[in-house]
Structure 1
Amino acid sequence: MRYGPLIWAAFWAFLLDQISKYLVVHVMRVADQPGGIDVVPPLLTFKYGENRGINFGLFQGDSSASAWILIGLSVAICLGVFLRLARTQPSRWMLISGGLLIGGALGNVVDRLLYGYVLDFLNMSCCGINNPFVFNVADVFIFAGAAGLILLDGKGTSQKST
């Protein structure tokens, strides 16, 4: 199937995101730990966060209207990525990249539908710099997928002609 890599990448990105959020937020109860949970201090700490905006808490809004706008925007981006890939002859890596982006975005959409915000819990700091921002596994997949779509599009490669 042509879209198999995209579907599988989206499925696994979505599933890993939702499982990680469930384990850290509901099983490990990171919200009940005021200083967070040190995993690999100081590089990786689990800290609870509720993101009502977009990346790094930009465009925060407590209204349900803003949540629905962000849900609609996320779904539109997913649809746009899928349609863009459907209109071209994407490589396997392009399909995987698109799947990662779509799976991560849909993971955050499910959070907004369930909670009204996105659950965040990953915090990375290093070298004496205390990073105040938290993110989640879906954000990692969205970033990796977007980077893959940009870097692997093949527009800059030359092709042999016979």
Structure 2
Amino acid sequence: MRDAHVAEAERITGTPESEPGSGADHAAGSEGGGTAEGARPTGRGKRRITALLLVAAVVYLLDLGSKLAVVAKLEHHAPVEVIGTLLQFSVIRNRGAAFGFGEALTVLLTVIAAVVIVVIARIARKLYSLPWAIALGLLLGGAFGNLTDRIFRSPGVFRGAVVDFIAPAHFAVFNLADSAIVCGGVLIVLLSFRGLDPDGTVHKD
């Protein structure tokens, strides 16, 4: 009888314990001296990668479109009240990380964003979990959104200032890319606590 924790994880990820590409199959393939089927994306793996790319594309397009709109309509204007003074749209140019931290590290932050994208691409090769696909898609779209600003906006390539415009009261100004990155990070932490790995397998501490 399967452990209840494993069964619950399978229900969430949609990946049965015996599915090709799982940790067990991969280990068996390695012991047999052959190439494990999970080394190449299967139909389910390709669907998860598609989900990742779709989430990333939606996040990226929403972030890019919102930045273009607020720069054209709101920059150099008084803040626009969305919910009174509790939430406003106010355009600033941020050369630091999310929420305005690390303004002197623009080039380093650009390199870090590029590394994050490469790491996500490597993880995607063994991705069989839909929740992980969503989480990584949020991270990827957000990273691409802010990286686009750093490459193409003034004052220059790899030194560009990120456009922030969501300004809650008593909090730092941020953008949709920042929100996606935070949401993706929180989701990854939750999945890790539940013992769910990107390949759809379950580990126990």
Give CA deviations for 1:74-126 in whole Å, capped at 9, x if unaligned: 01012223323434x5411110110111101110000111111100000112x
Report what 1:25 is aligned to: 71
User: What code does the residue aligned with 1:24 have?
Assistant: V
CA contact (8 A) 2:100 2:173 kept: no
How many residues get paired?
A: 146
Report what 1:74 is aligned to: 113
Residue 40, structure 1, aligned to residue 40, structure 2: no
Name the % identity.
31
Q: Cα–Cα, structure 1 residues 156 and 17, in superposed 2: closer, same or farther, change >3 Å?
A: closer
Partners in 1 of 2:147 and 2:64 — Cα distance?
11
Structure 2: give runs of 5+ residues left out of the alignment: 1-45, 154-159
TM-score normalised to the size of structure 2?
A: 0.65
User: What code does the residue aligned with 1:117 have?
Assistant: A
1:141 to 164, 175, 180: 180
Partners in 2 of 1:37 and 1:77 — Cα distance?
34
User: What code does the residue aligned with 2:167 have?
Assistant: N
CA contact (8 A) 1:82 1:98 kept: no
2:149 to 111, 115, 136: 111
Partners in 2 of 1:13 and 1:100 — Cα distance?
7
Report what 2:54 is aligned to: 8
Partners in 2 of 1:104 and 1:40 — Cα distance?
25
TM-score normalised to the size of structure 1?
A: 0.81
CA RMSD, aligned part only? 2.1
Give CA deviations for 1:100-159 in whole Å, capped at 9, x if unaligned: 11101110000111111100000112xxxx33x200000011111111112124417997
Secondary structure class of the residue paired with 1:39 = strand
Partners in 1 of 2:101 and 2:140 — Cα distance?
21
CA contact (8 A) 1:39 1:46 kept: yes
CA contact (8 A) 2:143 2:181 kept: yes
Post-superposition offset of 1:48: 1.4
Q: Cα–Cα, structure 1 residues 94 and 114, in superposed 2: closer, same or farther, change >3 Å?
A: same
